[in-house]
Amino acid sequence: MRRPERRRRDRKDRGAVEPRLARERDGEVQTQAAGLFLVAILSRQQAHAPHEQEARRQEAADGGPHDRPGEFHATKSSKRHAAGFTIAPMSNDPLAALPIGRKVIVSKTVSESDVYLFAGITGDFSPNHTDEAYMRKTRYGRRIAHGALAIGFMSNASTKILEGIEGTWVSYGYDRVRFPAPLFFGDTVTVAYEVAERNEGERKVFSRVTVTTDRGSLVAAATHILKRVDV
């Protein structure tokens, strides 16, 4: 005769347990969503750690601010989408990693061995670069480095600006190359390489490049063209 009372207790117990189980399931889903959101943040930060290190190095070198691509800012929208496992669409711009204004600075002191090694590689042993007695009689008064060696310094800067950037990039060439002043042995040069224009259709990036000595002389200038060839 006690069975009806037992059934009432069983229903009551189930009524108390089921809401608790539902809350636990909701808690697990929210915990998983939060975990995925945290993993996404950490992965993106780790992927762009080299950019942060390079930016700090460049700021220490020239005292100016530099880009830090890949910084992650959690907005209300991103938090809301994280709970629903929504992934933001990727950019279709193949040149996105090289925005206009992106800049690198590199420096180098030109030594006698730099000039003679370059002469040996190219076969250019002009007296302008190798004959000190001859050059003393000229308006320059001493040997000068090859103009093409300054172009090599520009090439180094183009490599630096591509560090950490995905894709296959090649040098498409240099336009309007000029050597306004002589580059002497012992000069310390600073190469400034800055993205000035982009052509998404042809996948080309055009950058202004200057080479300036510690004496304040502009010894080389050009427009360098980078082309992405893997898309």
How would you class 121 by CB atoms within 10 Å of its CB: exposed for 0-12, middle for 13-18, buried for 19 or more? exposed
74-95 pLDDT, tens per residue? 444 444 444 443 433 445 788 9
Instruction: Tell which wins on pLDDT, 27 or 174.
Output: 174
Please determine, for residue 17, whether its predicted confidence score (pLDDT) is greater than 60.
no
> Does the pLDDT of residue 227 top 70, yes or no?
yes
Span 27-32, mean pLDDT? 56
Per CATH, the architecture of 103-228 is what? Roll (3.10)
Residue with tokens 């460049």: 58
The alpha carbon torsion through 68, 70, 73, 78 (nearest 10 deg) reads 160
CA nearest neighbour of 109 among 214, 194, 210: 214
Structure confidence by residue, pLDDT tens digits, 194-210:
999 999 999 999 999 99
Residue 202: name the closest of 97, 98, 111, 95 by CA.
Answer: 95
What is the domain partition of the chain in residue ranges?
3-83, 103-228
Measured from the Cβ of residue 161, the count of other Cβ atoms closer than 10 Å reads 23
Mean pLDDT of 47-76: 58
58 vs 104, more confident = 104
End-to-end CA distance of the chain: 81
Q: Taking residues 32-53, what's their average pLDDT?
A: 56
| pLDDT tier at 56, thresholds 50, 70, 90 | confident
Q: What is the pLDDT of residues 108-151, one digit of tens each?
A: 999 999 999 999 999 999 999 999 999 999 999 999 999 999 99
pTM of the full structure: 0.61
